[in-house]
Structure 1
């Protein structure tokens, strides 16, 4: 009878590891209680009926290798970094976790006091054995690789022990020998491993423990276990190392919207609205600035902020700003006033705004200023990524959002007549066309 009977296909909250979740790792190895001390119980999440408890005692640990139909198989390698030990005699190194960009630089378990040859300590030996599979030249080679499950110790309640954070699923990228020095200035040679943290976004940052349970079952063939693996693991097996830049976890990339998600659904009412807006302004783009200023004000106020509309800039020499506004945070004497620089760009709905075009607005922003870019088109992925990675304070309003906001205004005040709404917004716009410095908005 397989250990997996009654387990495979039963993914529950307690059979899933979640990236960023902190788990209680208690020495008692109690696997019955789902929660311990207010945190999910690591031993409950990782339990597999009929098999030994999974250990996370050493820096490099994991279930024992088994004899499987395809030969010897290591179910997984569990890697734990303990920042609180860094620089100590026990751990004379500093691991580097870069969760945002999907990279872990992890030092092996050889020390000055180790009496074994380099590469023969349990942790280094396990990772070096896996290295050949992880850098395999074919999908068949890579399919035999053991997944790396990454954890780091975290402090809770003032105690550095007993809690671990799940940091994701990894694959080995490279291994090298390095000369290290401990805090007593003694030098020794060790291995350091560069590990790519894969993007589990398709799984909502969840890893089903049933996959590892299947890999621990000697009666289950490797192909059968792969059915439970995350999609990104399958893509890595098929494409190998060359695909790692695309498969790597990147937090910034998750904030980037595809072009199709910035555009209305084809042949929808929203698409017709956007086209009508574009047709109304494509040959009088300066008038579009009135509409853009009104939409920007609505978007900002929609978040509960206090926004004051200022003025439109003159057509020439605006230096990357089409309209000026002000965002007030706080009340009375406890208020901060932030200058808002707006850019309006009426382009064909199928067109995109490039990173260079957004950069021209960003270049105008001074410390404490905010940008708003309103367009009938979409923003390129490169433009969005640059904004997210460099943390530029700029709000992007794409064509789909623009159409939605104008439609809301038309329904609220013009009986759903979009054309009348557009005309009114331009003709009765409170924003005058002035040639003033942006800083003057702070005096109003």
Structure 2
């Protein structure tokens, strides 16, 4: 788990170390598998992600063990299931089998191994874990969904899938070889977490809570040119009308917290803030309870950090509500983060990078897409 495997330095496909670690899976593409997909004899599969495709943002949430992976129909002009590597066919068949009997899971769902391009020179990769399709808190519709995208006026579909990283630190060479030889996947050194998932669809995710609670300015702003331009487009749209950013901040919060209920935007206050109050829904639809929250939004330039004064105002309003949300197109001062965490204030601090990550995960991956969303969702009166 998280071990780095060095690649070559010749600058060609031969640098790839995955095909040496797991012979027979090939050295190209995001989907790699041993066996025949057409014959239903895929024995194991590798998912490889570069982590650099902003249009299709594969994402590993280390705190929850959830991995989001996009299929291989990434350009218009072909059907969802007719890609050259047939990766989307693999996703379709695997997720269907995952909801069958234990025998159907054993025969129709190969173990998945996740590798990520390493941020080092050469073709090095990092092993991120053993994956099972789906997750403990997802509906079947959440696990695998065909989503629409548009490129140069042409619409097309691709899959968005969710996997769970299982809590197992080391995959034995013996089990890999046993799988490649066509052996029973539940023997030959099979990890207990994989057996539990196959036999009862029981997920034991690898949960790794973050120890880094104070983010630097660089950590809080997009680190790529497109992301920076997307954030600038939001600021430019509300320039001179910064108070109107409140409604936009509410929609951004809904992307991150879809169980958010009714939200009321209040009038601008004397100190220049403009707030919203809302409810968050918990429990089953037939018998839900709601908790209250307060939200504030700051449409600031990247050079203008949210400081103690702004956060203190929100803290003072929490006496009558359960938690607070502060959304900014900029970043939070170090002192603000320290006080919120050390004093245990129930406040979610959402910075510029968080905004862009949320938009990308919901399909808005370009400046044009963000501008269209802004003009349609928040028209000027």
Short-chain TM bin: 0.3 to 0.5
Please, what TM-score do these two structures have when normalized by structure 1? 0.41
- Find the structure with the greater CA-based Rg: 1
